[in-house]
Structures are given as C-alpha cells and as structure tokens.
Amino acid sequence: MTQPRSLISLWLPYLATERVERRDPALAGVPFATYVESRGQMILAAVNPCAAGAGLTPGMSLANARALYPDVTLRRADPPAERTVLESLRDWCVRYTPWVALDGADGLLLDATGCGHLFGGDEAMLTDLAERLDGIGFTVRGARAETPRAAVALARFGDGAAAGGILRERLAPLPVEALGASVEAAAGLHRVGLHKIGDLYALPRSSLATRFGLDLVTRLDRALGDLPDAISPKPHAAPYRVRLSFPEPIGTPEDIARGLHRLLTRMTARLERGQRGCRRLTLSIYRADGDVRSLTVGVARAARDPHHLARLFAERLASLDPGFGIDSMVLAAPVVEDMKAEQRESRLNGASEGNGRTRTGREGDPEFYRLLDRLAARLGGGRLLRIDPLRSHLPERAGRFVSVFQSTNAEPTHAGGTGAGGGDPEAPPWPAELPVRPSFLLTMPEPVEAEDSRPEGEGEPTRFSWRGRWHEVDRVMGPERLSPEWWRPNDEARLRDYYRVESRTGQRFWMYRNPLQRNANTATGDWFMHGLFG
C-alpha cells in the first residue's frame, strides 16, 4: 500500500514588491508598484497590498495609476532579480524536502510525501513554512493536496480554510481558471455556464476535449490524480571539492606533490563519473600556523586528466610556502563544464601512417590544448592570444586579439561583438572582396612626417620619416577610403584614406591620412603609419 502523495504549493502573491520592500522597508506601508514597458506603454507589473487597497491593479497603465493615486511610488520591475529571489527561496526550502520546484514566476511546489512527520505532520509543516517565510518578509499562501495541480489551484484560488477532506470536494467550489488552462478555454467554459471545477465532473471527458481542448481535460485529470503528474526539482549539485587531512603536518615539496596527486586522482574520478571537466582548479593549503595559501590554475578546454593537471601545478607548486607545516589540503574545481568521455588516442596512429606527413597539430587535438595550458601556467593565460574574427570596417577592430581562454574555436560567437563573424565556424571570417591588407598591423597608428608632392599638401608623399628614419617613396597605391562606424556609440574614429606606400628599397607600408581635415598649423601630422606588408 503506497502512501498518498503530499504536495505543498506556496504562492507568493507579492513577491515582486516585497523583494524591493525588504531592502527598502519604508515602502511597505505606502502604495507601491512596479512597472514594465509593454507595447510602447508603461503598465503596472505588480502592486503591494496597500496599492491594491487604493484600487491599483497589475496591467493598469501608469497614467491611469497616477490619476487614481498620485502619491504611488513606482519602480521599474526586474524579472531576473525576482527569479533569483524565488530560486534562493527554493534552495532554502530544501530544508523541508529535497523535491522542490519552481511554479511559475511567483510560486514554489514541494513534494513533501513522507517528510511531514519530521515537522509534526503535514499541516504543521505548512504552518512552519508560512511563518518562517513571513518572518523574512514574504507573504505566502500555501495549500496541501494529493496532486501538484490541485495544490496549486487551492493555494491560488482556495480560501485557505478547508484543509482536510476528499480532493474532489475540495476542488469543486474553485473557479475553472484554477486549472490553469488557457484564457480562451476558461472563457468558453464560462459562456456555457460552467463556472466551477465541480461543474466539469459530471460531463463526459470526450466532449469536453472536443470543445475546449485536450489540455483542459489533461489538467483536470492531473488535478484529480487520474493522470500522473510529476514535479521537476533542481538536481542537487555537490561542489567539486576534495580534502586531504594529515595526522602530522607535512612540509617537504615531495609530500605536497604526493598529496596533490592523491587529491587530483580523487577529483578527476569524480569529474569522470559526472561526465564533467574542470576549467579552473584551486589548491588551498591550511597551514599549522592557521594561515591559508592557495594556488589556482586554469585550462583552455575542460580537462580531467590527472597527469596533465598535475603538470600545470608542478610549475608553480614551489611558490606555495608551507610555513611550519601543512595540516590539510583542499582541492576545489569552482568552474566545471560538461565533458564527454573521450577516446584515448592510439600511439600507433601517427607512427603507422605511411603516406604523407605525421598528422600533428590538428585543430581540436586535445594535446594542443594541453600544450596551451602548460604554456599558460608559465606565461599567464592573458598572454596566449587568438585573433577574434570580427567583421568591422575599422582595421584595428577587425584584428582584435582575445585570450584563448575566452574564445574557443568551437564557439566563435563572442559577447560584445557585432556577431557578423560568429555563428558559423565554416564561414570565412572576413569578406573575400576585401582590398589587400597587410599581414602586420601596428598596435597604434603612428604619426609620420611626410613631404608632399604638392606644396599645399593634397598630393602623395615623396618621402617620409617614421621612427626617426627617412624612407624614399617609390610608388603609392590607393587610396581606399574607410569610414568610421557611426552606429557605434562613442566612436571617435574619423574618415581615413589608406594607401599602400612602397619605398625605394621595396618595403611596403600601409599608411593613412584623414581627408577633409587639413590643419593649417601643422604641416606634418596628417599621415599615420598603420600596417606593414611582409
């Protein structure tokens, strides 16, 4: 005989306003509402009880609300923050039962089956929940029922009084909206005089489904427990953290390395079980004198090979001062990512290849990423750079460098960019019809002192001085006009005319000047050196 299920639904009708009032208690006693922009109009998103008492309702336009009650305090709604609050309440509810799920934007659903007795019964548990939530500033309406859908309906539409009894009878007086079906379905039911859930009991399911949709019937069956209904709680995520304590403090480098090796073995075994790989690892040592020292390594791609990770630490383990001895060591992986099991590459593959060269250094080769990690351990992750294929008119923007630890080839999309170059890894990063570009670009355009072929300074340079050396100009190719990207905010770039300038020795430079901006006071300074051709 299975125990009947016990579901608790919590509804926080004033979550949005109470979130703000908790930080700003002065708002609690006055009419206060949040608003959002919807179709070009400002409308109220949530109101507090005081504002509701004054006649304000969510969905009302801001102008109407102000006309009705001029002193109302208004704040812009922040749905992500509201969700964060709800999620932290969900995590807090784990003290009652491990099965807690979010219910919409303002509710929680707890499967308390078999947990109630720990709190003196289901009803006592519900009271305890409501009291504690009230204590931290949240109004809550809760209900308990045998199915999730019924619990939600009772919490949101019930009077909160009838606690026990048969489920069908408890649901019967609730309005049909309590089932949570579509607005159209509810309106249709009202049209034919079916106002309460109890009115639906007697009707044949098939005709209900034909007229009002299968969804309504499914919801009714779920509420009554005729169809199974599950809740989806957040899976419990244990932090990836392993610890090693020593009976006697240790201090020699060999012992530390051995300890680290043990921790890594345990950590990587856990990562492998969870099909995870770490992006960052922190080793903390707890010294006998109470001091804590730590060391962090990062990897370019999720990794869980203990030998590889040990090598990354090996470079810097000596910098960890053990003091008078180490009591315990803790290894934590604060950043983990999904990582599928990978096939170990056979050593024979490369050697047995008869025709062609050994296939080394392929893109996506895990060895390559291991090399990057080792280099980063000494150079620093910010010193290993990849060229970000960003499409931009502005030369310096098109050739931006980013750390390999930020961009990966697997996902060329990048935050902050225009996104034109991202998305499809197969697509060429730059347009094919681009005029000739130099292979090397100067970090900053450098001013060039040039002698012009025409005295008024409108022609081409005949010789120029750059970095203290004079170059005789043999040929000038161009110009190519590049305009600034006016659609970007704070873009200070000006119109530029780029020329390829060849010196008498054959060196080729990429130089530009700003046209239409002759400065009469400075004879020079019009030209800038920007790139070098191989």
Partner 1 sequence: MEGMLNRSASLRAPTSVREEPLNEAHAEGGRRVLPADLRRKIAAIEASGGKGAGRCLSTGVTALDASLPGRGLALAAVHEIQGSSAAGFALHLLASGLSNEECILWCVPEGRRDHLYGPGLWQAGIDPRRLVVAVCRDREEMLWTVEEALKSGSVAAVVAQMDKDRSWGGPVSGKPVDLTASRRLQLAAEAGGGLGIILSEGGGALSPSAAATRWCVDPAPLSDTRDRACWQIALLRVRGGAVPDKDWRVRVDRDGRVSI
Binding site for partner 1 (CB under 8 A): 350-351, 357-358, 360-363, 365, 367-368, 370-372, 374-375, 378-379, 383-389, 395, 398-399, 401, 404, 409, 412, 425, 428-430, 434, 436-444, 446, 467, 469, 471, 474-475, 477, 502, 504-508, 531-534
Instruction: Tell which residue, 501, 502, 494, has the closest CA to residue 519.
Output: 494
For the bound state, the minimum distance from the C-beta of residue 33 to partner 1, rounded and expressed in Å, comes to 51
For the bound state, the minimum distance from the C-beta of residue 335 to partner 1, rounded and expressed in Å, comes to 21
The secondary element (H helix, E strand) that includes residue 241 is strand 241-250
- Cβ proximity to partner 1: between 206 and 352 the closer is 352
- Cβ proximity to partner 1: between 121 and 435 the closer is 435
For the bound state, the minimum distance from the C-beta of residue 443 to partner 1, rounded and expressed in Å, comes to 5
The rounded distance, in Å, linking the Cα atoms of 31 and 69 is 9
For the bound state, the minimum distance from the C-beta of residue 507 to partner 1, rounded and expressed in Å, comes to 5
The rounded distance, in Å, linking the Cα atoms of 428 and 15 is 49
Instruction: Tell which residue, 378, 397, 377, has the closest CA to residue 389.
Output: 397
For the bound state, the minimum distance from the C-beta of residue 432 to partner 1, rounded and expressed in Å, comes to 9
Instruction: Tell which residue, 102, 110, 154, 158, has the closest CA to residue 6.
Output: 110
For the bound state, the minimum distance from the C-beta of residue 375 to partner 1, rounded and expressed in Å, comes to 6
Whether the CB-CB separation of 165 and 156 falls below 8 Å is answered with: no
Measured between alpha carbons, how far is residue 317 from residues 253, 282, 335 in Å?
Answer: 8, 12, 21
Measured between alpha carbons, how far is residue 348 from residues 305, 353, 359, 369 in Å?
Answer: 21, 9, 12, 21
- Cβ proximity to partner 1: between 358 and 517 the closer is 358
- Max Cα-Cα span within the chain: 103
- Cβ proximity to partner 1: between 35 and 369 the closer is 369
The rounded distance, in Å, linking the Cα atoms of 268 and 276 is 9
- Cβ proximity to partner 1: between 379 and 420 the closer is 379
- Cβ proximity to partner 1: between 99 and 510 the closer is 510
What token pair was written down for 59? 């969905």
User: What does R_g of the chain's alpha carbons equal in angstroms?
Assistant: 34
Dihedral pair phi/psi, residue 54, rounded to 5° = -80, 0
- Cβ proximity to partner 1: between 490 and 505 the closer is 505
Count of beta carbons in the 10 Å neighbourhood of residue 429: 15
For the bound state, the minimum distance from the C-beta of residue 51 to partner 1, rounded and expressed in Å, comes to 55
- Cβ proximity to partner 1: between 286 and 528 the closer is 528
For the bound state, the minimum distance from the C-beta of residue 330 to partner 1, rounded and expressed in Å, comes to 30
CA angle (348, 353, 359) in 5-degree steps: 90
